[in-house]
Amino acid sequence: MLHGNKKKQLSRGMNQRNALIKTLAVSLIRYEKITTTEIKAKVLKPFVEKLITKGKDGSLNSLRVIAGKIGSVSAVKIIKVLAPKYKTRAGGYLRITKIQTRLSDSTKMAQIEFV
């Protein structure tokens, strides 16, 4: 039974949702701060935090696991740049800050960035 496994669907099918999360994660890792909708930021936060935690040991296996999820260029940046910065931190690598609503459709917007 799949009790308690409900995730935000983001009005997309499974493959589109996974692709969206992957591209948001790559953009966040590349620029270290992005602006997106509040719901997308809340879905993205645990995904990226798990990748950072996985990259903290710096092994080849963790590099391959991360590269399988988001690509090799971003995986190398996690292993060599981001993970050593948070080596002593137990969690909470990202911060979500709510900003103004979008004027065109009044969607709640948020800025997600590394702490």
Residue range 10-45, pLDDT digits in tens:
999 999 999 999 999 999 999 999 999 999 999 999
CA distance 86 to 49: 11
What whole-number percentage of the chain has pLDDT above 90?
A: 92
- 97 membership: H or E segment, kind and range: strand 94-99
12 phi/psi in degrees, rounded to 5 = -140, 160
Residue boundaries of the structural domains of the chain: 32-114
Q: Are strands 33-37 and 94-99 parallel, antiparallel or unpaired?
A: unpaired
Query: If pLDDT is split at 50, 70 and 90, which confidence band does 47 have?
Result: very high
| pLDDT over 90 at 89, yes or no | yes
- Mean pLDDT (whole number) for 53-81: 96
Distance between first and last Cα of the chain:
37
Task: Decide yes or no: CATH 3.40.50.300 for domain 32-114.
Answer: no
